[in-house]
Structure 1
């Protein structure tokens, strides 16, 4: 039995050996299935990939809404509204980015003016950029009180005094 040239070339590409046993159909007592008989029984079946099972479950679950099916005009309307929303959001992002850039450049300009234009040789600039003493005992000041959603019930304790270090 000869294979078609297409099948022969595919077998050659995918490195499938073409022996007599693969070409000629088998007859006799050999089973059609290649699965072991013990595996066919209930409970012994090989389990598939869990991710594929979950994807199938959520895709075909009865509570999963069916995909939208639109006519041409309705699809075009939907696409136009969606595209307009995307453009609007991009415009907002661009405006926000430009505002942040403007603020950063204003701060850079102020720092540069402080460095060269204050007339004190940059002393005020160096003093403002000094980060010494911001963290006391290497602990940020924001963590001095536990972060909560609401203010405390007692309010501010005006009698509190800092403990003296010994």
Structure 2
């Protein structure tokens, strides 16, 4: 078996990851320590407020909150002093993240097959076979639907014939042609009404199936002591 592809491994493995900082920003970061640090403030408002005695120098809470949020989220802000003071923090920093460890395990597992990369001819063969199978399944589905529709139409026509005949099997037109005496009365459609009865439908079926089958259980369980 061939080794799994390293295409996905490059996405998650830190060994394959490149630096996220663009080359322009990296050059600026490298030059920063060489430059002379700025001593004067960009704004004199805070110093003027401090001299006038109006509550001292004000702090920019937006900058402090954003910096604190970045320090809490970014793993590079875990300083060595903080890790050395508390051994539990050091152990938690060394532990891998479960989600990333699971992804790496499945990507680097020896039994993981390589991703399917079909050539043009192989992809064409695969598509042809799949399309032929789908057409065959569609033909079976259409034939099954037509057979059920034929049965339904035959039952509907039989019920309509029973509704129009009397006890002797004659319709109103046939009775007029034969010169039958009297009105059919209740005898007309009697066989249809008998066929539509639902008496004794559940005689040969267990009582458990008398209730409509649902995905959830009923509020009241089945009464095992039930008798007819």
Scaled by the length of structure 1, the TM-score of the pair is 0.50
The aligned counterpart of 1:41 is 91
Distance 1:104 1:56 in 2: 57
Distance 2:154 2:141 in 1: 20
Within the candidate set 32, 57, 61, 2:76 is matched to 32
Q: Are residues 78 and 109 of structure 1, via their aligned partners in 2, closer, same or farther at CA, if it must alter by over 3 Å?
A: same
Could you tell me which runs of 5 or more consecutive residues in structure 2 were left unpaired when the two chains were aligned.
1-61, 171-186, 208-228
Report the structure number with the largest CA radius of gyration.
2
Between Structure 1 and Structure 2, how many residues are aligned? 114
Within the candidate set 133, 139, 148, 1:91 is matched to 139
Q: Is the 8 A contact 1:39 1:46 kept in 2?
A: no
Distance 1:39 1:113 in 2: 87
Q: Are residues 89 and 115 of structure 1, via their aligned partners in 2, closer, same or farther at CA, if it must alter by over 3 Å?
A: same
Within the candidate set 172, 186, 197, 1:130 is matched to 197
Within the candidate set 98, 111, 122, 1:74 is matched to 122
Distance 2:107 2:153 in 1: 50
Q: Are residues 134 and 73 of structure 1, via their aligned partners in 2, closer, same or farther at CA, if it must alter by over 3 Å?
A: closer
Distance 2:141 2:120 in 1: 31
Q: Is the 8 A contact 1:116 1:122 kept in 2?
A: yes
The aligned counterpart of 2:23 is none
Scaled by the length of structure 2, the TM-score of the pair is 0.38
Within the candidate set 113, 135, 140, 1:65 is matched to 113
Q: Give, in angstroms, the shift of residue 107 of structure 1.
A: 0.9
Higher share of residues assigned helix: 2
Distance 1:68 1:142 in 2: 51
Could you tell me which runs of 5 or more consecutive residues in structure 1 were left unpaired when the two chains were aligned.
1-18, 145-166
Q: What CA deviation, in whole Å up to 9, does each residue of 1:97-146 have, x standing for no partner?
A: 1111111111111111111134441111111111123335xxxx2339xx
Over the aligned positions, Cα root-mean-square deviation in angstroms equals 4.0
Q: Are residues 133 and 91 of structure 1, via their aligned partners in 2, closer, same or farther at CA, if it must alter by over 3 Å?
A: closer
